[in-house]
Amino acid sequence: MDDRYLKKLELSDAFIVGVSDIDEYHQYLVSLINDTVDAWLEGDLDQCRVRWDLFCLKLSEHFIEEEEIMRGYGYEVSKHNQAHVDILEKTKTICTDNKTLEEWKMCIYGGINDLVEDILKHDLHFAAFLKDYVKPRHKSPDKAK
């Protein structure tokens, strides 16, 4: 396959979860995967590796932070956690031996799909939960005084 086209990821408003720390991190992850796409478009195998590794590192940090935020709202995260674990396991194994642009292409596609799928299947499930969320009464509202 000599197709040298790889589309960058854009998240529409439909992907907004409603917690700024989560949404901002999603945009950061998009910028990291798109940096990897740029390296791929330039045919730079070394930078594909460097940028992909950074994406994976930040993805794992995001998952930890995201689950912590969700737990803070009393949201049950075990299913979501399993999805995160599976994605990280996949990202660790599928791209370790990449030596060609074609291999990197499949890898980057996989990263984009996993990120999009996690937001759609799991993060937005939390967003729906948030719509009915009622702050516990013992916590005083911000700026109450």
The residues of the shown chain that bind Fe ion, judged by CB under 5 A, are 66, 118, 122-123
Q: How far is the CA of 18 from the CAs of 30, 58, 125, in angstroms?
A: 17, 20, 11
Q: Looking at beta carbons only, is 63 or 104 nearer to Fe ion?
A: 63
Whole-angstrom Cα distance, residue 64 to residue 49? 23
Q: Looking at beta carbons only, is 35 or 66 nearer to Fe ion?
A: 66
CB of 79 to Fe ion, least distance (A): 11
CB of 94 to Fe ion, least distance (A): 19
CB of 29 to Fe ion, least distance (A): 8
Whole-angstrom Cα distance, residue 138 to residue 127? 23
The answer to whether 119 and 26 are in contact (CB under 8 A) is yes
Q: Looking at beta carbons only, is 105 or 122 nearer to Fe ion?
A: 122
